[in-house]
Amino acid sequence: MDKLRRLLCNGLDQFDSSFYPFLVLNKPTVGQKENLKWIKNMQFIRAINFYCIFDFDDYSNVDGLCFNYRNKMKSDMHSEDIFEDFSNRFTKLQASLGFPHDPKTVWVFANGRNDVQPVRPHYDIDSTSWSSEYLGIRDAVFFYSQIIPKRRAMFIFLLFSDDFVGLIETLNECILRFGWDRIIIITTEGYILTNLRKILVGEKRSSEEDITRRSVYGEGLQWEHICSTFCQAAGQSEEILKRIPVYSGGDGVAMDQHFQDAMTDLEVLSTTLCAGVSTLARHLLWEFHDRYRCAIIKRLTSNTVSNIFSLWQYKETSKRNPVLLLVDDLSDPDYFPQQLPKKIQNHFNKNKLQQQGTVCCVIICQRGIEEVQRKQTCSSPFIEYSETLRHKLTDEEIQWFETKFKQIENRKHSYRPDNLISFLILRKDFDSTYIRNTISELLTTIDEDSKKYELLSFVALISHYGNRSYNTKRVCIPVECCDEFIGTKYTKGKAWEFWEKNMVEDKKIFLIVEENRNYSTKYIHVFKEIRISHPSIAPVVLDVLTENKLSLSDLTLKFLESSVLTYNSVTASSIIEYKTKEMLKRRLKEEYNDKENTAYSPLIERITKDEGWKHAEKVLKKGLELFEDCYIYQTLSKLLSNNKQYDDAIKYAQESKKYASTIEEKGFCYQSLGLAMRDKFESNINDYVDIERSGCAIKSLLQAFELFLEARQCVENAGEISVLYCTHDILRTILLCCQFLLEKANFPAEINRKRLLTDPLYDLSELPDPWKEVKKTLTTLVSHGQYSFELIQRKLCFDPIYYSHDPQQLHRFHRRLHFEYPKLLNKFIQIFGDDNDEPPTDTLPEVIDEWHRRKVLSFMGNNYMDLYNRIYLQHRRKCMELERALSLCLEIRDHLVAIINKEVRDYINLVSVNFLLSSLKSSGVKRLSPLHSIKELIGFCQIASMTPGEYADQAYFFLSMMLWPTDEENKNVDIDLFKKTLNNLSIRKPKLFSKKKEQREMKGEHNITRPTPQFFLGHGKGLKKFCHRFDIYVKSSAGEQFDDGKIWHRENVRRKIRRVEGYIQYNQSWQYISVKSHMSSDNEVQIHKIRKCSIKSEEEVTFVRGFSIAGPIAYDVQLKRTTNLTVPQLLCMKIKLKHTITSQTANFLT
């Protein structure tokens, strides 16, 4: 077995994960397939993730090894003809097999599959005839020779019989493409190898020496021994089926093969011994593995939560122990680890599971070189306990390090170099000066002209600048990427000696070669990586290098030109290319949970700052040569535009479109091109005032405007924030164009500039041709602008955008829009509003209606948000007199009433202004002309609700308030309309954006929307019973403040708000609020949204009732017996709240 282990492990202790293993199975005998012991001894097939298995048993999927051991979740079955003549479909074949992002084991039936259809003749025929029938096998070997490094391939032939039909031809093809040193032949019967040797030597295809050297056979060799050797080499127990604990104790239960395969996102710890654990967090998990079901979360996908609950429930009765989970340094997760508890809670509720205590404890281990103080990411009361451990040494630990350091200094035998740096850094508690001095001194021991010194610089470069984003994996380089760069050594009769095996001690201080434990969502097969020994080293190494030898741009160019990026397998190329592209293009943004915001990637930003933008340009252009990536093109375009190289910026933005692979990417390309064109116009605006030049310039600017429109349409599925970015660009371009026309362009005196923007029939015959071409587009600017303001209103007012990693933090661009919106609107009003108090002389209804709408715009009454933000909020802040506010509202109402052919938004604006007039009346207005009746307002809302869209949502929002039952007003209400209203609010959900993986990686934002309450139930009758949010808190963007219970107990707020009575109940974890009401046939109205309720027992409570565009919301839920109620006429309600997952971490771990 020593020879087999040596061949499998290539001279190492365990199987080398940098190798690409293939398995070739010849046809077993009938007796073997009927022998259960023999079948069991073949379980080692599952110990190694083979890239491909060539199976010559045409009944293997019926009663053979495929039937018994194929992992259905991680493999695909194919006949050999899928590979036939693949040259014209190479890329398509790669994708169909999952390369490079999700490669599964390909189980190839080399002699066909009799369970599908009768196989082609292949027995008792000569090898030439077989090869002509089964060309796919030859082409399959050739295919894999094109996508993996030949020196790191390993073909293992298992010979069960002397049925060599097709097998010898396959062996010869492997030898031809990969060489004898990549072949291992295993058999327990000497005669099988003798017969094989006779054929190969007789046909002069191989020498006896090669066959003997690469074969394992002999008397006494049993498949049982082979199985044991394989499992040991792979670091696995011989018992492939893992055992896990049960609540009742004992030895636990074995997970059946199907269940084990289904755990795609979890690495479940077995109760039996394993190869060991590597990190402190894994040691913690191992401490509990024999009492609790423990698992490492390998990746976060849509299947993860389902895997967790399957593990929790597997073969358990009604009582279950909690599951202990570890999230340890994940790669490119589909969502943030901090979101996992909420997703577990949602799954629990959705499936109405019975609660019996703690379900799981999640340990989230995120590495970082600095202590980062972050807000609590989950405000849910259902997460009972969370704890953040500081990455800082105690005084006792510092003393221990000093003592240990003295012991090392006096030690005569050598220390482990791969732990030295981490030890020294920890010893001085991450002191930056100490780190720099220590590393600078250690670097002097390495030959600066050596390849491995150069490799150190490359690893430091990509480790530091490819790993700056908070939401990214630890950066590494697959070892195979360095084979050509460093070189490998071959000794005849032994094996390839790869460079990483012989790395000298001084390099091991800085560089660590290890198996990848970063379980990416992309790569199922584990690979070997080389990485920097500690994150703190990389910037210091780079500083020393750039001070003494190369500039940062020169080092980057040297890396981009090196063989590290070439001659690799498809998978390794995907890894190194992805991180290299990220290094060139990914900015730091708080949207990604980073601590700072940068204009470019940290690498490009540093080069630009230290060496100038031209050096950054060289680096980006080299990146374009290598990758032809649309985002690198956009980054270069932005760099050039920011440095006034507009023509080149436009050129590269145009070229980026060629390399966009999705509709969303095309949208970002359109946006980049539009920005470059607009920047050029804005920078040279004074050069375009001449009437001849201005027409061409405006034409170009309007092309940018149309690009933004196209971009917005393309990015609709990329996320709401992407739509807002495009919308903002549309508005800025509209305003820039209009201001140029109104203030700068040298038109003849007889030209009416405003009519140029608003009148489609205005005669432009006296102007140059370009003006005639753009006339139609100019007159559409006002409608596009109004629609854009409506989109912004929806997000700023009704559905604000927050970060999923920090649900209390408004999105950065959202905050920016809050600041810029008034300025944009004022400019828009100046351009498209109407200051003329006299209606136009043209009596056409459409002309008069548009004049009324322009007047409404001038008075800031164009939508609900503007009415309340620009009038009522200013009044509440004492910036506008009550009489002035009242006068504006009356003017707006009169103009809206006067519109003959009302549009949907006119009806909603009428409802909004009536609500505002009611609020002003509550503020002390004594004399006020009659408002529209509630019945009339309900009619307006009904009309608006008939047209799907944002205004229909607003219509149902207002209806939900006007139809809401109170003890004082409960007669003559349309019950059917009320139920329809609540139903539409309940089914209204923010659009879910399903991003493709490549899009999610580049635009890696995970945002959420949370409806903001606009009104609360107060006292009084009619519209007076509603209290606007500005009556409570006079900040337009402070929706999160209402979640804070303190605000509801202020005396001035208590007088305005009506508290509602209710009762908390639990019903199979299903949460809803049931409002007792005679208006409903089942005597209840359901509320689904509750904010910050920490009460978990069935109790009588009171709460505040809020109204939002997503339906009713309950705030400040308090026990009735502890609430000091000072207001009469409480509305009786019954509340049912869902039960939830808790995470009693402290109790669980102790």
At 970-998, the pLDDT tens digits run 556 788 888 888 888 877 655 544 444 44
User: Which residues 6+ apart lie within 8 Å of 626 measured at CB?
Assistant: 560, 565, 577, 580
One-letter amino acid at 1041 equals Q
Render pLDDT for 871-912 as a digit per residue (tens, 0 to 9): 998 888 888 898 899 999 999 999 999 999 999 999 999 999
Above 60 in pLDDT, residue 254?
yes
Query: What is the rounded distance in angstroms from the CA atom of residue 610 to the CA atom of residue 615?
Result: 10
Encoded tokens for 178 = 């990969």
Indicate the range of 193-202, 208-217, 1086-1095 predicted with least confidence. 1086-1095
Strand 183-186 and strand 1015-1017: the pairing is unpaired
* Angstrom distances, CA of residue 382 to CA of 678, 1051, 1095, 1142: 50, 30, 10, 5
Mapped onto helix, strand or coil, the DSSP state of residue 297 is strand
Which residues sit opposite 328 in a β-bridge?
365
Query: What is the rounded distance in angstroms from the CA atom of residue 235 to the CA atom of residue 229?
Result: 10
User: Which residues 6+ apart lie within 8 Å of 507 measured at CB?
Assistant: 446, 452, 456
- DSSP-assigned letters across all residues of 723-765: HHHHHHHHHHHHHHHHHHHHHTS---TT--HHHHHH-TT---T
* Angstrom distances, CA of residue 12 to CA of 5, 17, 498, 504, 506: 9, 11, 11, 16, 21
Q: What is the pLDDT of residue 1000?
A: 42
Which residues sit opposite 1132 in a β-bridge?
1061
Render pLDDT for 828-874 as a digit per residue (tens, 0 to 9): 999 998 888 888 888 889 889 999 999 999 998 889 999 999 899 88
Encoded tokens for 498 = 């790869």
Q: What is the pLDDT of residue 994?
A: 44
Q: What is the pLDDT of residue 603?
A: 95
Return the DSSP state at 265: T
Above 80 in pLDDT, residue 302?
yes
According to the per-residue pLDDT averaged within each range, which of 241-250, 348-357, 675-684 is highest? Answer: 675-684
Other CB atoms within 10 A of residue 124 CB: 7
Mapped onto helix, strand or coil, the DSSP state of residue 1061 is strand
Which of 771, 576, 607, 691 lies closest to 763 in space, CA to CA? 771
Render pLDDT for 907-941 as a digit per residue (tens, 0 to 9): 999 999 999 999 888 776 666 667 788 999 999 99
pLDDT bin (cut points 50, 70, 90) of residue 967 is low
Query: What is the rounded distance in angstroms from the CA atom of residue 1132 to the CA atom of residue 1061?
Result: 5
Other CB atoms within 10 A of residue 93 CB: 18
Query: What is the rounded distance in angstroms from the CA atom of residue 1057 to the CA atom of residue 1052?
Result: 9
Which residues sit opposite 1059 in a β-bridge?
1104
Render pLDDT for 740-766 as a digit per residue (tens, 0 to 9): 999 999 988 888 898 889 888 888 888
Encoded tokens for 985 = 């609010």
Q: In degrees rounded to 5, what are phi and psi of residue 106? A: -95, 115
Delineate the domains of the chain, giving CATH numbers in brackets: 2-233 (3.40.50), 243-365 (no CATH), 396-627 (no CATH), 997-1146 (no CATH)
Above 90 in pLDDT, residue 233?
no
Which of 976, 1080, 1009, 510 lies closest to 800 in space, CA to CA? 1009
Q: What is the pLDDT of residue 1137?
A: 29
The residue written with tokens 């169909």 in the block is 96
Render pLDDT for 785-836 as a digit per residue (tens, 0 to 9): 999 999 998 888 998 999 887 888 889 998 899 889 999 999 999 999 888 8
Above 80 in pLDDT, residue 557?
yes
Query: What is the rounded distance in angstroms from the CA atom of residue 802 to the CA atom of residue 800?
Result: 7
Mapped onto helix, strand or coil, the DSSP state of residue 526 is coil
Above 60 in pLDDT, residue 324?
yes
Q: What is the mean pLDDT of the chain?
A: 82
Mapped onto helix, strand or coil, the DSSP state of residue 12 is coil
Q: What is the pLDDT of residue 287?
A: 86
Above 90 in pLDDT, residue 341?
no
Q: What is the pLDDT of residue 435?
A: 74
Q: What percent of the chain has pLDDT over 70?
A: 82
Q: Are 336 and 304 in contact (CB under 8 A)?
A: no
According to the per-residue pLDDT averaged within each range, which of 32-36, 84-88, 529-533, 996-1000 is highest? Answer: 32-36
Q: What is the pLDDT of residue 523?
A: 43
According to the per-residue pLDDT averaged within each range, which of 608-622, 994-1008, 1085-1099, 1130-1144 is highest? Answer: 608-622
Rounded mean pLDDT, 66-81:
89
CA atoms within 13 A on the CB side of 388: 14
The pTM of the full predicted model, rounded to 2 decimals, is: 0.84
Q: What is the pLDDT of residue 1132?
A: 35
One-letter amino acid at 724 equals L
